[in-house]
Structure 1
Amino acid sequence: MEDGSPHDHSDWDGVVLSARERARSQQTVMVERHGLSGDVQYHWSLDDARITWSRSGKTFLTGRLTMIGSVSLSQQTWLWAWANESLPSAVLGDIEQVRRFGEVNGFPVLPWPGFNYDPELVAEARMVAASVLDAEGLWADSTDDTQLHFAIHDLKPVPVAP
């Protein structure tokens, strides 16, 4: 899946380091500010690009999702959401910005439709994507054979009913 383009590792490493620091900070703030630990349940929908969190059956937080990409565990491949024609348009959000960022800055891993699965490269790609998309956090979920990776935006607490 890789096209063999040279990869500027020193520039990429700097972008990844900055994105990693940002993601770590954003993730900590998101989890602490909104209480996303402990007995929290969640539900997400690709069709309307939404995620909700609940506790004891009561929804307390909603957000918008942008699908970043997915990993096929059986094929050991990563596929960017912008290259996945089966996804609803709502969940694509501004993911094209990530592809364009890669093209403009000479980071081939971002405009390649996919690449061979490497956990570290997937982590780097999703953190850089979250940074480019100015996400509030990252979320991942797994199905039988697929890992799904999302950026989270527009978090809004749900008022507690009296």
Structure 2
Amino acid sequence: MSAVPPTEQTPTDWAAWSREAVEMMVARNAEWPRKLGLVGAPEYRWDLDAATLVLQGPLHEVVATVCLVGTTSEAEGSFLWSWGNEAIPKQHGEALEVVHDFGRANGLALLTTPRITGGRPEATECLCIAARLQRAMGTFIDQQGDVTLYFTILHAQLAPMDDAPLPN
């Protein structure tokens, strides 16, 4: 017999839910590169305007649609959601609306406050929560000087091959 009457809902343990999101992304991040034939640390380039990440595999390129979730600055000691950063193309903030809505609906300040004090641990938690809510296939992190960028990978596929003849 249940200790909680069926008409009452047990409150969600958000800390456990967040840990599950991180565990889920660790597992997905181990899987998607292997499935797409990427080994080691492939060369890559990203384009914020096009919302793409291109990874160079040993035999082919992989093109991914990404969402920049946010950035951290070591100097500032903070994580800034993309929707709170005017320098980031709007499509990234729009792709995060599901996260923002979820935060508002559940009273989670972590998901509704534009700038959060902290660094990589807080940013990684936000990244994994966003990835869980977006049903992302994985995540990608890149550092550019003082700024670290946190991406969700929404979709990825092998790049189309050109029509050049194959060598003999």
Structure 2: which amino acid aligns with 1:63?
A
Does the CA contact (< 8 Å) of 1:47 and 1:91 recur in 2?
no
Matched with 1:35 is 37
Matched with 1:6 is none
Per the normalisation by structure 1, the TM-score is: 0.85
Which structure 1 residue ranges, 4+ long, deviate > 3 Å from structure 2? 90-93, 159-162
Structure 1: which amino acid aligns with 2:56?
S
User: Structure 2: where are the runs of 5+ without partners?
Assistant: 1-11
Matched with 1:71 is 72
Give the one of 23, 26, 30 matched to 2:25: 23
| Residue-by-residue CA offset, 1:82-120 (whole Å, 9 max, x unaligned) | 111111123335112111111111211110111111432
Q: CA, structure 1 residues 143+118, in 2 after alignment: closer, same or farther (shift >3 Å)?
A: closer
Matched with 2:8 is none
Q: Which has the higher contact order (CA 8 A, sep 6+)?
A: 1
SS state at 1:121 partner: helix
Does the CA contact (< 8 Å) of 2:83 and 2:90 recur in 1?
no
Does the CA contact (< 8 Å) of 1:62 and 1:155 recur in 2?
yes
Q: CA, structure 1 residues 103+138, in 2 after alignment: closer, same or farther (shift >3 Å)?
A: same
SS state at 1:110 partner: helix
Per the normalisation by structure 2, the TM-score is: 0.82
Q: How does 1:56-95 map to 2 (within 5 A)?
A: 59-95=60-96
Q: Give the % identical residues.
A: 26
Query: How many correspondences in the alignment?
Result: 152
Q: CA, structure 1 residues 65+93, in 2 after alignment: closer, same or farther (shift >3 Å)?
A: farther
| Pairwise CA RMSD | 1.9
Which segment is superposed worse, 47-56 or 64-73? Answer: 47-56
Does the CA contact (< 8 Å) of 2:69 and 2:92 recur in 1?
no
Matched with 1:100 is 101
Which of structures 1 and 2 has the bigger CA Rg?
2
